Amino acid sequence: MNLIPKIARQNFLVQSNIIRHFSSWRKNRMNDPNVKETKIGMNFMLLHSKLEEYYSKRELLAILKKFGENVTDPNETINPDVCEYLFYESGYYKCPEEFNDHRYMFKERPPPSEKAPQRPPIVTIMGHVDHGKTSLLDFFRKSNIVENEAGKITQHIGAFTVHIGEQKITFLDTPGHAAFLEMRHRGAQVTDFVILVVAANDGIQPQTLEPIKFIKEAKVPMIVAINKCDKFMKEVKKVKDQLLANGIELEEVGGDVQCIPISAVTGLGMDDLTQAIIAQAEIMDLRAEADGNVEGTIIESKTVEGKGTVATVLVRRGTIVPRTTLLAEKAYCIVRTMIESNSKTLTRAAPSTAVEIDGWSSVPPIGSKVFQVPDKEYALGRISSLKQWEEQVNRFKSEHTRLKSLLLRKLDPFYRQKMLEVTGSLKGGMRWNMDDMVSEKETKQVPKVNIVIKADVLGSIEAIENLLSSVPTNKIRPVVINKQIGPPTESDVELASLANAIIVNFNVEPPANILSKCQKKKVTIKSFKVIYHLIDFLNEELCKRIPIEYSSLKIGEAKVLKVFEISDGEIKAGGSITTFGDIRKTQENLYAVKVVRDSKVVYEGSIDSLKHFKQEVSLISHPSEFGISFKGFAVDVSKFENQYIAKPTTTHLRFRTDTNVPKLGVMLVGWGGNNGSTFTAGILANKMSLKWQTRRGLQNANYLGSVFMSSTMVLGPSEEDLDNLVHVPMNSLVPMVNPNEIVIGGWDISSMNLADAMDRAQVLEPDLKIQLKDAMGKMKPLPSIYYPDFIAANQVERADNVIPGTNKNEHLEVIRNDIRQFKKANDLDKVIVMWTANTERFSDVKEGLNDTAESLLTSIKESKDEISPSSIFAVASILEGCPFINGSPQNTLVPGVIDLATQHAVPIGGDDFKTGQTKIKSVLVDFLVNAGIKPLAITSYNHLGNNDGANLSAPKQFRSKEITKSSVVDDMVKANFLLYSKNEHPDHTIVIKNVPSVGDSKRALDEYENEIFMGGRNTISLHNTCEDSLLAVPVMIDLIILMELFTRVTYKTECETEFKNFNVVNSFLSYFLKAPMVPYRTPVINALQTQRRAIENVLRALLGLPIYDDSLLHYRM
């Protein structure tokens, strides 16, 4: 009974002290003109006496020296501006002690005595996203929460009470997604102990480390549950090692943390986990009084239509009953109804109960403490006092900031500069960030994006604001101008319209009239139910609004050799010669020119005239001589004397080809996949000269689709038959590997033998499969590397043949040993390794990770997460001296791999087999652009039904494929600057859908929208049905043949004495690849016929024949 008057007295005294102290401070520091305007210096002794709490004498002398104050005499006077600055930066002028946070002035009762009744434990479930936290809770609840969550990830703190036998337990389920950092933090603060869920297949992840940190900070016990052990029990030891490495001392090594393998789906180990929870609660002997005033915590708050504001309260002490008056900061509540997690209405909420309470006056802040107060009048008085306190604190901080800004502006320029140099080196007190130091003009130059946030609960708003706060503000500044619980209203639309803002809705649906109004007002409004979809949208919108920064790239250079006068000396033109690149006539916003004289730029502008043999041209290519004049600039003849004249030169190359064709082995990564099994079956069928029945009749084995096995090339005109050109098979020009002689082996994450894999692929005819079954049934892939993070989750069902453990260096050595054993067992001369397995996600390329050979090998030894399986196979191949080809779209050949290949002189090639849709596109777009027809839009749909389609249904793997497919037209578009201005590009859309029913018979649907003469339009639609693997296998064969050939070809110039190899990055493979890798500073060519001519001409060069240019001048002249 005495508690309330005491609190009231304390509240009054505190408020009085705040007002009194603030008024005194403000009068002394703000309103006294002598303090603000009169510069009073002080000597070093006096200055140090005032600041000795913040700086030692040595530190203060060092700081003063940075300001240019070299103090030699303790009585020497210090510049007053410097003194004033140090007072502020050190914290000498600081917020009065009475300004401490008084939101929780209610004195909490002392800890409950041993006589208090026991209460149920409050257990928080934490862990990385999608590690099975909610599935674990579902097991206890016998429900299926996870299926009801958008995106199947938890997005709010869920508070649930369950009964396990006679034991009652309150669980808090926290979101694992990175955006919900604060929710996890709150979960750690209000819990009795934590269950940390770690998936056995993933191990410790970034959002696992954060809860570990919070648990340690909150000093609460934990139990570790290693989930998904029904499938990944062999990974448990790896996870335990990771836990120990992160400072979690498990019971089995003498610590106090229980670690239990479980499966939340099958129930494996759940009895053990239940016993561990009950045992932990008994050890902690949790108690709380059920009588007396209520204390609790706000877990979540939101607005519900028909009920108003509701909040989930976790009761810590006391018992809530209807009509109880509660206070949480500036919100009060007269309890109307209390609902438990199972929708049951309660009449009493005892300690450790989480209940949803309605009747709140406003939305209480999440994480705020809840106290019981006598009545509404007292609550309103308490809220009024708190508002006064906040106003006083805000005024103090505002005046403090204003005075510091005033000081910054009035500092002498010398000391201002020194202050900017040393800011950040001082310690203690408040800090001036760089925003305080830049001018208003500079601040305004950073564009801002206004955002209105509407969400279902405060926690969601908090998560979105956290995301926005992490955006770097030197390019774009997101500003939340309004944030509220509930769907958007007309006032939100009006505000967004006036402020040019985006409205973002999370877990709330805007009414139809609001959507209509947004459309009329041209306001962007988007609704989301999954947090990562919202993240993607905001990133896209912010990136779109970042101003374009233009950079210059030197595309050509020339020297002026002689100056000519045109039109009676009015204009001077320079006779010039290129030194490299192209000289292009200036177009609007495209090409600019600089004239450099004596290392100084004397002119920047545009080219007025560009002539070649008196003919006006728009392009001069190196090497060429030409005439040039500039707009508004006359060339000075005297400055171009004594210049050397560069003349075109001819380089003679000599090629040497080893004609001894080796015994070749090919090891396929993904041997048991559709491509691998079809590759093996096709070569065996040709080797055995098989015939089989089809619905169209008897079929013979062949190599149709292979350039080297089934196509010819022009050798030249015939002396005997002048009407015809001589064509010869491509594989007849120089000795090449016969595919029938290739020895095949490889790896796969599936243990299925090749006969069963061939059946699973459903590519070949039944009669052919019967004939091959015995031979292929004896073939079984070696265990492969499987890192779930790099391929789609749906591939886990196949992964029963993987190299154990997570040590990537050990995996590398296993692969190297496999290559050596394969080569030795089959008595091979050479081995080529080819990746034809699943598409991986892109790996991050970072300095010190995989940018050099040394960093890549170190990262493999340290088992860094971003080292992909395909990169490990590439490294193993290179270290064993075996050429490596990447047939998938991911960035296997990171800079470190290329560096390693260069050091070991081992050829590599990639990326992504070019088979159907992309191959046609590289022909058609080349034709259109070269015909002067402008493709405006290219829309490509793909229906895939094999395992490739299943894997590419995952977003990250699809992105890898999208990148390679979308870049195929870039060089063709770039080549015709008459059609496309700078940064202009056809609208190129790629869609890939997993349609299981189409099997290996993929569908490719393309539509080309083109601009033709006088603004007309032309539409070309293509429908391409093709057996995916039957197109890919001939490409694989050609890649192997050509790669092997180049291991036997060397060259030298007439000036060199030694023959040398081609560049390790074999760009002659480009014809067969969607995203061809090329050597550094080599143009990427995707036009199919240009790529083929490159192969033909190099084959001619190996025979000593001239390059064939299709001009046929000897016929046409």
Which residues face 613 on adjacent strands? none
911 prior amide bond cis, ω within 30:
yes
What is the distance between the alpha carbons of residues 1000 and 1027, in angstroms, rounded to a whole number? Answer: 6
Look up 240 and say whether it is catalytic. Answer: no
Residue of 912, 1000, 1028, 1038 with catalytic role: 912
Distances (CA, A) of 1035 to 416, 693, 708, 919, 968: 67, 25, 10, 11, 17
- 1101/1046 Cα distance (integer angstroms): 13
Residues 6+ away with beta carbon under 8 Å from 201:
228, 231, 232, 235, 788, 796
Beta carbons of 575 and 562 less than 8 angstroms apart: yes
Contact 347, 324 (CB under 8 A): no
- Check: CB of residue 577 under 8 Å from CB of residue 561: yes
Q: Based on the residue annotation, tell me whether 65 is a catalytic residue of this protein.
A: no
Task: Please give the torsion angle defined by the CA atoms of residues 690, 693, 696 and 697, in that order, rounded to the nearest 10 degrees.
Answer: 80
Q: How far apart are CA 748 and CA 761, in angstroms?
A: 14
Distance CA 986, CA 934 (A): 9
**DSSP SS3 for 445:** helix
Q: Which two tokens stand for residue 144?
A: 């299926």
Query: What does the alpha-carbon distance between residue 857 and residue 863 come to, in Å, rounded to a whole number?
Result: 10
> C-alpha distances in angstroms, 93 versus 55, 86, 355, 395?
15, 10, 45, 15
| Catalytically annotated residue among 1002, 1006, 1028, 1038 | 1002
Strands 1049-1053 and 1017-1027 come out as: unpaired
Count of other CB atoms within 10 angstroms of residue 66: 13
**Tokens at 210, concatenated:** 């954060």
Q: Name the helix (H) or strand (E) containing 385.
A: helix 376-410
Q: Is 482 exposed, middle or buried (0-12, 13-18, 19+ CB in 10 A)?
A: middle
* Sequential DSSP letters for 216-228: HHHT--EEEEEE-
Per DSSP bridges, beta strands 556-566 and 571-584 are antiparallel
Element (H, E) at 183: helix 181-190
**Catalytic: 1028?**
no
Q: Are strands 345-346 and 712-717 parallel, antiparallel or unpaired?
A: unpaired
**Is-contact 348 291, C-beta < 8 A?**
no
Other residues' Cβ atoms within 10 Å of the Cβ of residue 692: 18
**What DSSP state is assigned to residue 484?**
E
**CA 273 to centroid of chain Cα atoms:** 36
Q: In degrees to the nearest 10, what's the CA dihedral of 345, 349, 354, 355?
A: 40
Rounded Cα distance between 186 and 220, Å, is: 13
Q: Which helix (H) or strand (E) holds 17?
A: helix 3-29
Distance (Å, rounded) from C-alpha 227 to C-alpha 269? 9
State how far the alpha carbon of 1027 is from the alpha carbons of 46, 757, 765, 1030, in Å: 88, 17, 12, 5
Print burial letters for 602-639: b (CB count within 10 Å at least 16), e (below 16): eeeebbbebeeeeeeeeebebebbbbbbbeebbbeeee
CB of 134 within 8 A of CB of 510?
no
Catalytic member of 961, 971, 1028, 1038: 961
Instruction: Report long-range pairs for 464-472 (Cβ below 8 Å, ≥24 apart).
Output: 464/179, 464/504, 464/506, 464/534, 466/179, 466/181, 466/182, 467/179, 467/534, 467/535, 467/538, 468/538, 471/542
**Of 238, 240, 769, 1074, which one is the catalytic site residue?**
1074
Whether residue 865 lies in the annotated active site: no
List the catalytic residues. Answer: 912, 961, 1002, 1074
